[in-house]
Amino acid sequence: MSEFQNIGLIGRTKSDSAVLSLKRLMAFLEKEGYSVVLEKNTADDVDNHAARVSSKDRLGELCDLVIVVGGDGSLLAAARAMAKFSVPLLGINRGRLGFLTDITPDEIELKVSEVLAGKYMAESRFLLDMSVTRNGKQIGKGSSLNDVVIHPGEYIRMIEFDLYIDGQFVYTQRSDGLIVSTPTGSTAYALSGGGPIMHPKLDAIVVVPLNPHALSSRPIVVEGSSEFKIIVSQDNTEHSYVTCDGHDQVITQPGDVIRIHKKPHRLTLVHPLEHNFYETCRSKLNWQVN
């Protein structure tokens, strides 16, 4: 008997291709005798089903495995919701790049059946917690699997801030912002900003300046246990923004303090046995193969 009996499904809503793959997956799971639980928003896009329906907040309590049908953005959202339940995630790619969702639509039955039979590899990934305080009072928070980004928001203007790591002053910087990224996020926005590719198993965090007003400002890789404090300068004339995985957003004011640290709950990602990080990089980033 499979260790996974209750399977939660989250689909990329408003995507016809994702819904088609979702229905195909549901038919396969139900035929094989598994109990299927649909996330509520996902269920709204699936007609004539008899599956149980659950809010995303409760899905992690009801399921042994959650399968995400969509792109990396869909899996990021699921990761933020599921991490506290320690329920593993498996991704079927119906997006564009697919760094995290690594099963293709045409191999759903084959690869999912292998995973359910215990033929899989599991990776532990950490997330980041972010909070913003104003005059000592918390005004916003969020979590991310990829990154926390400080940026100018709707105005293309440089912002100024002070960066501290583990209580030690690093620098005062004027730039378009700052990316604080996990190894998982190192192949996302941080890579576009000039940051290094980090293996997912690393216990490290990379800090990537966005177009800094100093040629000597470069990405910094630090321990995963590091605590970050970013003080928004009083000299800023516009409000800067803080976003988590491009989702949760907080608008800051001069003098606000942004704190970032590793989340206590870790996420387990499930992959087919042949999953290879370097092969993923070769195929997704178009590395030359002779």
Instruction: Show which residues are catalytic.
Output: 72
DSSP secondary structure of the chain: --S--EEEEEE-TT-HHHHHHHHHHHHHHHHTT-EEEEEHHHHTTS-S---EEE-HHHHHHH-SEEEEEE-HHHHHHHHHHHGGGT--EEEEE-SSS-SS--B-GGGHHHHHHHHHTT-EEEEEEEEEEEEEEETTEEEEEEEESSEEEEE-TTS---EEEEEEETTEEEEEEEESEEEEE-TGGGGTHHHHTTPPP--TT--EEEEEEES-SSTT---EEEETT--EEEEEPTT-SS--EEEETTTEEEE--TT-EEEEEEEEEEEEEEEETT--HHHHHHHHTT----
Q: Is residue 24 annotated as involved in ligand binding?
A: no
CA distance 82 to 243: 19
Residue with tokens 């995290």: 100
Q: Is residue 278 annotated as involved in ligand binding?
A: no
Q: Is residue 184 annotated as involved in ligand binding?
A: no
Q: Is residue 214 annotated as involved in ligand binding?
A: no
Q: Is residue 79 annotated as involved in ligand binding?
A: no
Q: Is residue 187 annotated as involved in ligand binding?
A: yes
Q: Is residue 157 annotated as involved in ligand binding?
A: yes
Q: Is residue 256 annotated as involved in ligand binding?
A: no
Q: Is residue 146 annotated as involved in ligand binding?
A: yes
Q: Is residue 73 annotated as involved in ligand binding?
A: yes
Q: Is residue 60 annotated as involved in ligand binding?
A: no
Q: Is residue 203 annotated as involved in ligand binding?
A: no
Q: Is residue 70 annotated as involved in ligand binding?
A: no
Instruction: Tell me the binding residues.
Output: 72-73, 146-147, 157, 174, 176, 187-192
Instruction: Tell me the binding residues for NAD(+).
Output: 72-73, 146-147, 157, 174, 176, 187-192
